[in-house]
Amino acid sequence: MSNDRDDSTSPQSNQRRRLIQGIASLPMAGIPAWALAQQFPTAKINTTKLAITDTEVTVGQLHSATGTMAISETGSIQAEQLAIDQINAMGGILGRKIKVIKEDGASDWPTFAEKSKKLLVNDKVAAVFGCWTSASRKAVLPVFEKENGLLYYPTFYEGLEQSKNVIYTGQEATQQIIWGLDWGAKEKKAKTYFLVGSDYIWPRTSMKIARKHIETVGKLGKVVGEEYYPLGNTNFNSLINKIKVAKPDCIFCAVVGGSNVAFYKQLKAAGITGDKQFLLTLSVTEDEMTGVGGENFAGFYSSMKYFQSLDNDNNKKFVAAFKAKYGPASVIGDVTQAGYLGPWLWKAAVEKAGSFDVDKVVAASPGIELKTAPEGYVKLDENHHLWSKARIGQGQPDATFKVVAESPDLIKPDPFPKGYQ
């Protein structure tokens, strides 16, 4: 006869249930790590042979620390580590400190796939916090689904995806692209649009959605130009000439990574500046501004859910902790903040599940709320995306953003919006 009898009404079971429910709201509640570890023996919380001991749980980080995407991904690496350090300082998760194995995707999609397999198969990590571009996410997705790994993906993206093995902590299209275009049409009276992107899946799919919204679904106006350039491209002179001929009301951009530096410097040199031209981008945050320079982006706009200048208590604490760890000159962009949410969402799900097993963590994830998120309150939908607010920030000469618009309510994530597929 099995010893796994139903003792859900026993005092021990009730005590364990109360402990699980209370952990998230009263982090560690003065309970020492060893006591928590005893409450959650390894054999019970790790039935799938992940890298978990009585004192430690191993996770992976997989970002581009080198290559053209490093300008964008370094912030995510830092923010995820900050969250992990803070969680460890509170006692860890279920009495176990988090150990991190860092891998460099090196801005190369096959390398991302190779490193994800190493983390899941060789290192047997309990979760991975990683990727930035959709190309890297698409490269690792088959590996995560085959090996039943769990990826926390921090970047705003095109949507049109939902995987059991991914938690998407950034925005999908309705929370960024569509909301931003509607704002531009209403507030800036934009009717003609020139679409510009780097040449890979996220910009191309994002601009496909943008074109459908502009011309068909939202009926905002018409597209008068659409151009793509290789990732890492640094020569935009021919594009600038086309923009000058087309004279669009709005330049709508998804130029990514290091290319942003050349793009905005060349725009300014050609006399296309924020005081003369409405430009709305999906891919310049405070992280990119370190290379672009505030003087080259001033007056242009970004559609994001988070800006470092957000005025709320959660964000003030986050910014202070980030700068204390990484220096007073460090900056925090949208994806950096979304990266910070990953370990906290994972912690909440593990504690709710009372287990590190991926299937149990995934099952426990929908409905999880973070009231301490720097962007403000967020919650995780059943579709593995976050309910978040949308915001527009205007670039300032000092490389910060002034928030000029915010959605009145959280926007329910809809990764498969009707009419855009």
Give the list of residues 6+ apart from residue 356 with CB closer than 8 angstroms, or none. 45, 46, 50, 52, 57, 93, 94, 126, 350
Quote the CA–CA distance of 362 and 343 in Å, as a whole number.
Answer: 14
Q: Is the pLDDT reported for residue 26 higher than 70? A: no
Q: Strand 369-370 and strand 128-130: pairing?
A: unpaired
Residue 367, Cβ neighbours under 10 Å: how many?
A: 11
Of 87, 101, 97, 99, nearest to 54 by C-alpha is 97
Distance between CA 115 and CA 200 in Å, rounded?
21
Given this chain, do its domains 11-171+311-387 and 173-304+390-406 carry the same CATH topology?
A: yes
The pLDDT assigned to 38 comes to: 75
Contact 61, 100 (CB under 8 A): yes
If one counts every other C-beta atom within 10 angstroms of the C-beta of residue 254, the result is 24
Asked if residue 9 has pLDDT above 70, the reply is no
**Interval 95-131: pLDDT, tens:** 999 999 999 999 999 999 999 999 999 999 999 999 9
Q: What is the tens place of the pLDDT at every residue in 193-214?
A: 999 999 999 999 999 999 999 9
Query: What is residue 34's predicted lDDT score, i.e. its pLDDT?
Result: 65
Neighbours of 244 (CB within 10 A): 11
Residue where the block lists tokens 């309910």? 387
Tokens 């000029």 identify what position? 404
- What is the rounded CA–CA span in Å between residue 80 and residue 287? 15
Distance separating alpha carbons of residues 168 and 34, to the nearest angstrom:
32
Q: Give dist(CA 170, CA 388) in Å, integer.
A: 9
Task: Provide the percentage of residues in the chain whose pLDDT is more than 70.
Answer: 92
pLDDT per residue as tens digits for the range 231-265? 999 999 999 999 999 999 999 999 999 999 999 99
Under a CB-based contact definition with an 8 Å cutoff, are residues 69 and 135 in contact? no
How far apart CA 205 and CA 201 sit, in angstroms, is: 6
Confidence check: pLDDT of 60 > 60? yes
Which residue, among 387, 401, 282, 392, has the nearest Cα to 332 in the 3D structure? 401
pLDDT confidence tier of residue 411, bands split at 50, 70 and 90: very high
Q: Is residue 266 within 8 Å of 239, Cβ to Cβ? A: no
Please count the residues of the chain: 421
pLDDT band for position 36 (50/70/90)?
Answer: confident
| Percent share of the chain, pLDDT over 90 | 90
- Are 195 and 226 in contact by the 8 Å Cβ rule? The answer is yes
Q: What is the pLDDT of residue 31?
A: 66
The domain segmentation of the chain, as residue ranges, is 11-171+311-387, 173-304+390-406
- 13: pLDDT strictly greater than 80: no
Average pLDDT over residues 283-299: 95
**What whole-number distance in Å separates Cα of residue 253 and Cα of residue 268?**
15
Reported as a single tens digit per residue, the pLDDT across 329-350 is 999 999 999 999 999 999 999 9
Fold of 11-171+311-387: Rossmann fold (3.40.50)
- For the cut 90, the answer to whether the pLDDT of residue 184 exceeds it is yes
Architecture of the domain made up of 173-304+390-406: 3-Layer(aba) Sandwich (3.40)
pLDDT band at 390 (very low <50, low <70, confident <90, very high): very high
Task: Assess contact for 150 and 165: CB atoms under 8 A.
Answer: yes
Tell me the pLDDT tens digit for each residue of 258-279: 999 999 999 999 999 999 999 9
Measuring CA to CA, how many Å separate 387 from each of 174, 382, 407?
11, 10, 12
Read off the amino acid at residue 194.
F
How many CB atoms are closer than 10 A to CB 211? Answer: 18
pLDDT at 20 over 70: no
Mean pLDDT confidence for 188-196: 98
pLDDT for the residue 220: 98
Residue 354, pLDDT > 60, answer yes
Reading the block at residue 18, the tokens are 């109360």
The DSSP code sequence of 232-300 is T----HHHHHHHHHH--SEEEEE--TTHHHHHHHHHHHTT--TTT-EEEESS--HHHHHHH-HHHHTT-
Q: Is the pLDDT of residue 49 over 80?
A: yes
Q: What does the alpha-carbon distance between residue 389 and residue 411 come to, in Å, rounded to a whole number?
A: 6
Between vectors from CA 73 to CA 355 and to CA 412, what angle results, nearest 5°?
60
